[in-house]
Amino acid sequence: MIGRLARDRSGTSGPSPYPTAAARRWRSLGAILVIVVFLPPLLLLVAGSLRQPGLPPPPGPQLVPEPISTAGYERAVQLGGLVRATFNSLLVAAVAVPVSVVVASLAGFALARLPRRVAGIVIAGSLLALMVPATALLVPKFAVFRVLGLTDTLGALVAPALLGTSPLYPLVYYLAFRALPAELYDACRIEDLSPLRTWWRVALPLVKPVTAAIAALTYVLTWSNFLDPLVYVYDRDLFTLPLALRSLATLDPTNFPIFLAGAVLATAPAIAVFWIAQRRFLHRYEGTRTR
């Protein structure tokens, strides 16, 4: 019974899950708009990183620098300690992303199974938490981390994952789990599945696109986090990529290609994660369409 309901939910029967022609046109228009807005700055970033360090800045933007040089990348790695910083950032992301996904999905699943009135109170509290500026929590977080001995360690950067990283993520999972048919949960109870097994074996596999989106957002948020490492980390060997790039930003204008090269190296992994997440969405859509 559970398998049949899950297959019905995944699109083998019932109303067509495919977007209409109008929806596909709007989606294509949105993709074109995003490309128009973000592609030119990325091209200028890459072009600037390929300039020869030590030369005077160009009078205007140059998409093809003369001469083309990769010396900026070599010096960015040497001067900024990007290898060590990249390892630290990868370590933090490797822990924070799965922990955030597990915590947020568990919280969202529990919230979806609560009575609507109780869930409404929790949702209202989460929305209020989203309105609190991050800077307002720096002092109390610093006091807590100092008592726990987490200051000047990478543990301070991983700790927010224990709360799902952001109050938004459990709410997204709540909407996804709430959209699943109630008959599916009833069948799980008939099969004597515990809530934990229902979450892991039934509910979570049916919201894989949401998991991919939450994982990608958590990765980018963790990867680009500058404020927390600046406040809690002092040892240069524990610097993450944003802090390493800050040290390169102090170079004189003639060596600005070195900073741009470091920015390219820091931006490429985030773009790769979004590309993988997009492929995940498209693969799921195409797999559903061929059934």
Mean local confidence (pLDDT), 170-196: 90
**pLDDT score at 105:** 95
For residue 283, is pLDDT > 80?
A: no
Tell me which of 18-27, 62-71, 175-184 is least confident.
18-27
290 pLDDT tier (thresholds 50, 70, 90): very low
Residue 287 has pLDDT above 60, yes or no: no
Q: Tell me the percentage of the chain whose pLDDT exceeds 90.
A: 30
Decide yes or no: CATH 1.10.3720.10 for domain 81-240+268-289: yes
CB-CB contact of 61 with 267 (8 Å): no
Tell me which of 181 and 13 has the higher pLDDT.
181
Is residue 3 scored above 70 in pLDDT?
no
Give Cα separations from 123 to 39, 49, 168, 175, 279 (angstroms): 37, 45, 10, 11, 31
Mean pLDDT throughout 69-78? Answer: 87
- Per residue in 77-135, pLDDT (tens digit) is 888 888 899 999 999 999 999 999 999 999 999 999 888 889 899 899 888 888 888 88
pLDDT in tens, 160-178: 999 888 889 999 999 999 9
pLDDT for the residue 47: 87
All structural domains of the chain with their residue ranges? 81-240+268-289
Instruction: Kindly report the backbone phi and psi dihedral angles of residue 63, in degrees, each rounded to the nearest multiple of 5, phi listed first.
Output: -75, -25
For residue 129, give every residue at least 6 positions away whose Cβ sits within 8 Å of its Cβ, in sequence order, or none: 167
Question: What is the per-residue pLDDT across 214-273, written as a single tens digit (0 to 9) for each?
Answer: 998 999 899 989 989 999 999 988 999 998 888 888 887 778 888 888 889 888 888 888
What does the DSSP assignment read for the chain? Answer: -HHHHHHHHHTSSSS--SPPHHHHHHHHHHHHHHHHHHHHHHHHHHHHHTSPTTSPPPSS--SS-SS---HHHHHHHHHHTHHHHHHHHHHHHHHHHHHHHHHHHHHHHHHHTS-HHHHHHHHHHHHHHHHS-GGGGHHHHHHHHHHHT-TTSTHHHHGGGGGTSSTHHHHHHHHHHHHS-HHHHHHHHHTT--HHHIIIIIIGGGGHHHHHHHHHHHHHHHHT--HHHHHH---GGG--HHHHHHHHTTS-GGGHHHHHHHHHHHHHHHHHHHHHHHHHHHHHHHHHHT-
| Rounded Cα gap, residues 240 and 237, in angstroms | 9
